[in-house]
Amino acid sequence: MTRNLGAAEQGRLIAAGKLDPVEQVEAYLEAAASDEGARIYARLTPDRARSEALAAHRRARQGVLRGPLDGVAISWKDLFDSAGVATEAGSRLLEGRVPEADAEVLAAATLAGTVCLGKTHMTELAFSGLGVNPSTATPPNVHDPRLAPGGSSSGAAVSVAMGLAAAAIGSDTGGSVRIPSAWNDLVGLKTTHGRLSTRGVVPLCKRFDTVGPLARKVEDCAHLLAVMEGRNCPDLRDASLQGARLLVLEGLPFEGTRAAPVQGFEEAVARFEKAGAAVERGALPMVAPAMDLSGILFAPEAYGLWRDVIEANPDKMYALIRERFRGGAGVSAADYVKGWDDLHRYREAYWEATAGYDAVLVPTAPILPPDAERLLSDRAYFESENLLALRNTRIGNIFGLCVLTLPTGYPATGISLMAAPMQEDRLLRLGIAAEAALG
C-alpha cells in the first residue's frame, strides 16, 4: 500500500511516473475521512490538497518538478497557521480562529510542491507530552488505541504511523516531536531553536519553541527540513558509524526509566558499536542542575503569553493543562532572570564537555505509552507520567541542541542522538548510518 511508503520514496515514484499525486491524495483523503481519521485530523483541507496535487501531477508530466517532495502529501499540526482554515491549537479558547496567511514554514513547503492534507489534533496549546485531549480528540496509539499517542504532536505522529500522511510537521518545546515519534515507532527531528521560522506558529514558550518533522525514515526528515528552509537536502550518501564517537549520558536519563525502554536503548547502542562506533559512558555534572531550572523557565513564559486568554475563559480549558499554565504564576521575575543567566552558563559547560563527541545518546522516553483513560481520570497519574515522559527529551531543549529520535526495534521505544546547536546536517548523516545499523 503506497500510503505506508515514506515521503522520499513517494517523491521518487512520482518523479518516475509510477505514482500519481492526485490518486495518492484521494487515497489519503478517503482514509482520513473515516471515524478513525476524525480522531487524528482536526480538519482536512481537501480543496487545497486536490489543487496542489493536480498542480504537482501536471509538473510531473512536464518534467519540471520543483524538488524531491513535489506532490508528496503531508499533515500539519493544528498550531501552524493555514490561510482561510481554522488553526485552534487543540483548544476551545481559540475556537473559530482563522488566519489570513500560511505559517512561513508551510508557505515554504508549499512552494517546494508538498501537498497539505490538513491539520492534526494535538495536546491543548501544546503543553503536555502525553497526547490526551478531552476537549477535542485523543488520537489512537498505533500499537493499541487504548494507549496515549504521545504529545503534543499526537495527531501528527499517528497520521504517519497509520498511513494517513506520508510525513508530518509538528512542534517541539520540551519533547513534542520526539515523544509521539518514539511511541509510534517513527523518526522525529527536534531542530535547533531558531533554525526554522516560527512565524505563524501558535506559541507555547517562544524561547524554546521549535519546528520539526515526524516521518518513517531519516531521509524523509532531511528532505522536510530542507523544503521548510527553502534549500537543497544535505548529502546523505556513504554515511557511516565507523569511527563515530558517541557518549551514553548516564545518571538522570536512567533514573526511574522502565525496563522496556532501557532494553530497546541498550540493544540499539550495541548495534551502533557493531557498526564501528566508539561508545563511551559517563555522567555530566551540569545536566541535573540545568534540568532543575525547567519549572522556573517554561511555565512562567507559557503563562505570561497565555494568561489573559486563559483567565478570560478558564472553564474552556482541560483542567490539568490549565493548572500547568497557572503553575508559572508564582515564579518571580528575579528568579526567572537568574534562571536564564544560570542556564547560559550550564549550556556553555555542556557544549564544552561534549564537543569531542558526534552525539550524546539517551533513551527518548523513560516510559512506554500509558493508558489514555487513566490519564484523564487520575490526576496524580497524569502528572507523574507527564513529567517522566518529558524528562529525557527536555535535555535537548534545555541545552539548545538538535536531536534525532529513532525507533529501536522494540515497540514504542526510541533512542535519541543529541548533537550541538545548528548541526542538523551532520546529525542527519549520522542518523542515516544509525538507522542502517538498527535495520
274 is catalytic: no
Q: Which of 152, 171, 181, 416 is catalytic?
A: 152
Residue 423, judged by CB atoms within 10 A of its CB (0-12, 13-18, 19+), counts as middle
Closest among 280, 274, 282, 281 to 242, alpha carbons compared: 274
Residue 418, judged by CB atoms within 10 A of its CB (0-12, 13-18, 19+), counts as buried
CB of 300 within 8 A of CB of 336? yes
176 is catalytic: yes
Q: Which of 75, 77, 153, 294 is catalytic?
A: 77
Write out the DSSP string of 251-295: SGGGTT--HHHHHHHHHHHHHHHHTT-EEEEE--TTHHHHHTTHH
> 539548545: which residue's cell?
400
Closest among 114, 119, 156, 116 to 10, alpha carbons compared: 114
**If residue 7 lies in a helix (H) or strand (E), which one and from where to where?**
helix 7-15
Q: Which of 154, 176, 181, 294 is catalytic?
A: 176
Closest among 284, 266, 234 to 395, alpha carbons compared: 284
Per-residue DSSP letter, 230: T
| Spatial distance between the Cα atoms of 83 and 233, rounded to a whole number of angstroms | 27
**If residue 323 lies in a helix (H) or strand (E), which one and from where to where?**
helix 319-326
416 is catalytic: no
CA torsion through residues 176, 247, 356, 350, sign = positive
Closest among 161, 170, 82 to 129, alpha carbons compared: 170
| Spatial distance between the Cα atoms of 41 and 30, rounded to a whole number of angstroms | 12
**If residue 41 lies in a helix (H) or strand (E), which one and from where to where?**
strand 41-44
Strand, helix or coil for residue 54:
helix
CB of 236 within 8 A of CB of 219? yes
Write out the DSSP string of 338-406: HHHHHHHHHHHHHHHHHTT-SEEEEES-SSPPPBHHHHHH-HHHHHHHHHHHHHHHHHHHHTT-EEEEE
CB of 92 within 8 A of CB of 86? no
Q: Would you name the residues annotated as active-site residues?
A: 77, 152, 176
